[in-house]
Chain A
Amino acid sequence: MTGIAYTGVPSAEELRACPGIPTPERRKKGRVAVIECVQEIPCNPCAAACPFHAISIPGEITALPRLDGELCTGCGRCVALCPGLAITLVDETYGEEEGAVDFPYEFLPLPAEGDTVDAVGRDGRTLCAARVVSVRRPEANDGTRVIRIAVPKRFLDDVKSIRRLARKEEEDAWTTK
């Protein structure tokens, strides 16, 4: 069976029907939010987070968030504020060969700018190598870091995060049994 309720990964069909995905025309114009919220749950902080009113939850709070690509400036406020970590930014205009993806990241350790890391897709599989462009943690994000990576353009639709980096034992502050 496919679909997020069976695999934890939104299916191609669910993504096609998702009102939070920007159009190909909008994507060509530069950085824009991609809201992969495909299941009706009671949640609306993304709509309130957007300073440009580009995200709306029409009717009941369980409705899927709708992106107005023309109003979206790609500012990224929503990326760290979505409790489901379901929003990324894509920038097709980042470079000649490369596009950029911004995603929320809540694991330690953090990569450093300039590092080469493994870019992963929705199912956690490594898709390609990625270069870390920036690691940001504005106070408004309340602890959630937003990382920007550059990846070859052909992976831009599918890159969603990076492989979790290994912890070094000596840096480990945790007590274990």
Chain B
Amino acid sequence: MKKLRTEVAVVGGGPAGLSAAAEAARAGAKVLLIDENKRLGGQLVKQIHKFFGSEAHHAGVRGYQIARRLLRDVEDAGVTVASNALAYGLFPEKELGVVWDGKHCQVSAERIVLAAGAKENYLAFPGSTLPGVMGAGAAQTMANINRVLPGRRIVMLGSGNVGLIVSYQLMQAGADVVAVVEGADHIGGYGVHAAKLRRAGVPFYLSHTVKRASGDGALARVEIVQVGKNWQSIPGTELTLEADTLCLAAGLNPMTELAWMAGCAFLYLPAFGGHVPAHDAKMETTVPGVYVAGDITGVEEASTAMEEGRMAGLSAAESLGYGAGAALDAERAAIQRRLDDLRAGERGAIRRESKARQTAAAADQRQGGGAT
């Protein structure tokens, strides 16, 4: 079995992991970046829309182009990249079990940054296993990466930014979106994304959910129904939509398996998509030397993931003796300011509050208290 040693191992090559790897390597650390895909960039590679955020987070630039820039940073910084490498376990003494190009290898690292991202929530209902029912992320991968249109007539369940953006992109690819269906009484994602769909003639069904999907061997019809305040179906309000594709965009949950294995303290934060590891302002978890960044710490945006990645990379390198003093403090303060900005405003309130609880939980744990 191949054995590798590195100073910093970063798990996950999305916006958080790429940023962490580049910063740690730039500071002087020897960095190995591990990603299970053949192509790095995480979800950025299929984002063909221009991003929100500020100039500091490449706002106005399309997602896949941001991935290219981050990849260039990683290469320029001298990071060793292990793609097609699945990190399946994190064992005591910071040893990672990795299947790299089909071969098992063991990676010993002095510091670990977990940036594994998040996965789509699944929903079960009658007909949910029919061909044509899929995650919105899968439909986006088909259209934007594999260049295969998943279907002609799409129903999107979920009106968060993923549901809205994927709906729009499937229309750009030539499909018709016959409905966006949302259980809540309001649109979850940004109004501007919804407005693009409304201008293009897409109807929204709020306070509605999918009752059943049906078809002979493949999806042909989606039956939706109105829901009341307690999410119970209201009989008599059923409506049948003809569709060959039903995309599920019912939220994401953090991919925390490695953090659980490492023994990190967790807390449950619904606004962040479920159980998330407690961490301090430097992104270190309650297990010394194990850092986290991006959606694994709570589902947010690529922009926050990049900033958290930078923070984690700088901090991991610092703890190994790379970089110190006023310059590093100033850099970290700047990152924190940008993170605060990204969580500002009314829409950021719940994430501000959740992040505060997450850092407080890490502090409690270190003072000998238990995880909440």
Contacts and interface: CB of A to CB of B under 8 A. Distances in A.
Interface of A: 1, 4-10, 36-45, 48-49, 60-63, 81, 83-86, 106-108, 120-124, 142-144, 160-161, 163-164, 167, 172, 174-177
Which of B147, B151, B201 has the largest number of chain A CB atoms within 10 A?
B201
B348 A62 contact: yes
Contact of B193 (A84, A107, A143, A161): A84
14 contacts: A4-B191, A5-B187, A9-B198, A39-B192, A41-B192, A41-B345, A43-B54, A62-B345, A62-B347, A108-B174, A124-B200, A160-B199, A174-B174, A176-B149
Contacts of B174: 108, 167, 172, 174
Nearest to A125: B201
A124 B344 contact: no
The interface residues of chain A, by DSSP majority, are classed as loop
Given A84-B193, A86-B195, A42 B53 contact: yes
Interface residues of B, number: 49
A30 B185 CA distance: 40
Interface of B: 49-55, 59-62, 147-152, 171-174, 185-187, 190-202, 204, 206, 218, 244, 303, 341-342, 344-348
A8 B194 contact: yes
B194 A124 contact: no
A85 B173 contact: no
A164 B187 CA distance: 23
A37 B193 CA distance: 11
Given A8-B204, A163-B201, A45 B347 contact: no
A79 to B, nearest CB: 12
Contacts of A86: 192, 195
B150 A177 contact: yes
Which of A38, A49, A84, A160 has the largest number of chain B CB atoms within 10 A?
A84
Given A4-B191, A7-B204, A41-B190, A60 B55 contact: no
Given A44-B53, A49-B60, 18 more contacts: A6-B187, A8-B197, A36-B195, A39-B192, A39-B347, A42-B54, A42-B344, A44-B54, A45-B60, A61-B341, A62-B348, A81-B50, A83-B50, A84-B195, A86-B192, A107-B200, A174-B147, A176-B151
Nearest to B148: A175
A167 B176 CA distance: 11
A66 to B, nearest CB: 15
A152 B54 CA distance: 37
A163 B147 CA distance: 24
A43 B52 contact: yes
A169 to B, nearest CB: 10
Given A39-B190, A43-B53, A175 B342 contact: no
B105 to A, nearest CB: 37
Nearest to B50: A83
A83 B60 contact: yes
Nearest to B65: A142
Contacts of B345: 40-42, 60, 62-63
Contacts of B201: 120, 124, 163-164
A163 B190 CA distance: 22
Contact of B195 (A9, A62, A143): A9
B307 to A, nearest CB: 12
A9 to B, nearest CB: 5
A8 B196 CA distance: 8
A49 B61 CA distance: 12
A85 B192 contact: yes
Which of A8, A60, A174 has the largest number of chain B CB atoms within 10 A?
A8
Contacts of A41: 52, 190, 192, 345, 347
